Structure 1
Amino acid sequence: MNILEQFRLDDKVAIVTGGAMGLGQAMATALAQAGANIVIADIREDVAEATATTIRETEQVKTTALKVDVTNPEDVQKMVDDVVEEYGKIDILINNAGMTINEKAEDMTYEQWNKVINLNLNGVFLVAQAVGRQMIEQGYGSIVNTSSMSGIIANKPQEQCSYNASKAGVIMLTKSLAMEWSKYNIKVNTIAPGYMKTELTKPFFEQGGAMIDDWMGFTPMGRPGLPEELGGIVVYLASDASSFAQGSVFTIDGGYTAL
């Protein structure tokens, strides 16, 4: 097969959790540009619908928006059932929903800790488990979990121990699932983005200040990443081009973790 053809995702079905905005939206768009039909799964139903509509109209693929709380096992299973009922299969999962709370470890409440761990780690597990069961039945699939360079290094100057711990957990979960599910022809990999300039973080970068100077000073490329710069790696991992990539961590961080 021609190498470029291996990147095509025509007629594939991809679920993107947290796909309504930011990194998830950019990754969903990239998959659609490669030919995949897209399911935007997000807690914000109205934004998910708007994103699905935009992708459908611009990329000419089938799209669906689903309201899903990834920390709720019943919600997650219903998502899988609905997608299989509508599309007949799930080829690709981009397991992306997440959040952060910046708080000093000594001041963080247990409620705050649990909120981050529950979404960033428990939610990733619940979705991977439910989709994984479907992929095991199918005999194939590709799962891409969104971790972070924060699962590899401890960020400075902001305090975010719960976020860092959750993303480190996603990395080891990815490796563990890859070890268990290789025999089912399921790929499980993770991308670890660095500091990204999204609609939510754009004001911070434009305002600048000591924290931004610190972040960019430790980034060899000297700039934040853009959401669309994750498109290539996501299409690669979702496609046949990455047929021997398994249990791997792909850092997309402008060189931050190279220091």
Structure 2
Amino acid sequence: MKTKLRNVLTFTMLALFSSALFAQGSANQSYWVHEDVVKPGMMAEYEAVCKELIGHMKTHNIQGTGWITTNTSDNRYLYVSPIENMSDLDKPVFAELSEKMGKEAMGALFARMDKCYDTEQDYIINLDAELSYQPGGINQTPEGQNFRKFHYLYVTPGNRAAVREKMKAVKDMFASKGSKVYYRVYRSGFGTRGEFYMVAVAAKDAVDHAQMSAANQALLGEDGGKVMWDLMNNLLSYEEYTGMMRPDMAYSPSN
């Protein structure tokens, strides 16, 4: 049974750094991800409580904290914060909000949120700039592109080197053809379910993504198809999810 304290501590670990770090992350930045698997019938209430929390954060202008948020088509909400090392997870940065809005009020807020999901997970992923293809520089939140496709490429210890080489070949193909489909690659880290690469592709919406994909397929041609198939043929398994960035559920402190 989860407790109010556990929920407070979980969100404390989320809100570690200013969201200014998100736009142009370092080459191999690590991120703490907190994932809530929300009950389908509780999504509206869950979002209302989360936005209420953010409202309190803004009212009290809580400093030194920040996160970006995405939700996926399978009812998962992911809160992402950059970390420098594991010791960053112990920083009690949520204590400021508890002091300003009151411990009981904050506990009641999290208790309402607690009813909206039965499963939550916490893990670390690592940006892999070497495998990412974003010629203008790494940017997690390109303006006007809140739609996301998340591709999970699962590997085994025995074939991780081969998969990495295949992914390099894909990037080289995109670069040589001047592809306009940009993507960021993240490696699984501590606490993830299995070993994987996650490829995130941004677009304006589902229609824009479909048009981009069709144009890219035509651009890469048969050679591109062979390179992609060579990669897929070396994977343990593959999963694809649709998502949306949620700036309305993100937080960044005012100066």
> Which has a greater percent of helix?
1
Length-normalised TM-score, structure 2? 0.31
Whichever of the two has the greater Rg, that structure is 2
Normalised TM-score (structure 1): 0.30
Greater RCO, CA 8 A, separation 6+: 2
